[in-house]
Amino acid sequence: AQSVAQPEDQVNVAEGNPLTVKCTYSVSGNPYLFWYVQYPNRGLQFLLKYITGDNLVKGSYGFEAEFNKSQTSFHLKKPSALVSDSALYFCAVSSRDYGGSQGNLIFGKGTKLSVKP
Amino acid sequence: SQTIHQWPATLVQPVGSPLSLECTVEGTSNPNLYWYRQAAGRGLQLLFYSVGIGQISSEVPQNLSASRPQDRQFILSSKKLLLSDSGFYLCAWTRDHSYNEQFFGPGTRLTVL
């Protein structure tokens, strides 16, 4: 079965410290992996994606994510957190076998990131 | 550039009343379109998706329905709202294929009283 797990409901980080938001997945075939951010009462904003190639993907607002096939993980990282990074973060997965031409995604439950000054 | 609109932004409706939420996309043609519901600011539940005019796929049984009368218009409807229909409704679009990211609208906050 296809699934995405975000094991932490909330991550607390001090401003200026590095942050990591975890994501693991299970999907048939090669995965396509995505991260989105959602600010209160807003739609989701696309941050970055992994399709193929370099395992380290760089995205918007200084975020990056590392694809690890052996651990089936795609953790989101940022070297130095900002208070403005506080938001809800979603990991999502698709594949040619799941989603196909429809482009359907499976979303994790979300992780609330809180960055304190 | 492409933009996606949803309206209304907020809606308060009594139980048993009808519903119509609209989503339109500009700047692209033949997008795949999606309706999601988000409860309590957390996970997303895919309700419907459409790969073309008049083509609707339902992911979960419920008292909601969707229609796509035009290429870039996606409508979510209900004949009689339930309390459990309250939530944040998000519309999204993508170019076809599973490796393309989805782009989300601003959402509609629906409260059923």
The full DSSP string for B60-74 is S-SSEEEEEEETTEE
Residues of B with CB under 8 A from a CB of A: 6, 32, 34, 41-44, 46, 49, 51, 57, 88, 90, 92, 94-107, 109
Using a CB-CB distance cutoff of 8 angstroms, which residues of chain A are in contact with residue B57? 102
Does an H or E element contain A107, and which? strand A106-107
Q: Contact, A55 vs A33, CB < 8 A?
A: no
Angle at B19 (CA atoms; ends B18, B25), nearest 5 degrees:
155
The per-residue pLDDT for range A53-105, each reduced to its tens digit, is 999 999 999 999 999 999 999 999 999 999 999 999 999 998 766 655 566 88
pLDDT at B95: 84
Residue B41: the pLDDT is: 62
Tell me if the bond preceding B8 is cis, omega within 30° of 0: yes
Joined tokens for residue A1: 């079965």
Token pair for B49: 């998706």
Which region among A6-15, A26-35, B36-45 has the lowest average model confidence (pLDDT)? Answer: B36-45
Which residue among A32, A34, A107 places its CB closest to the CB of B43?
A107
B4 has pLDDT over 60: yes
Reported as a single tens digit per residue, the pLDDT across B23-82 is: 999 999 999 999 999 987 678 889 999 999 999 998 876 789 999 999 999 999 999 999
Q: Which of B97, B103, B107 sits opposite A101 (nearest CB)?
A: B97
The total of other beta-carbon atoms located within 10 Å of residue B3's CB is 12
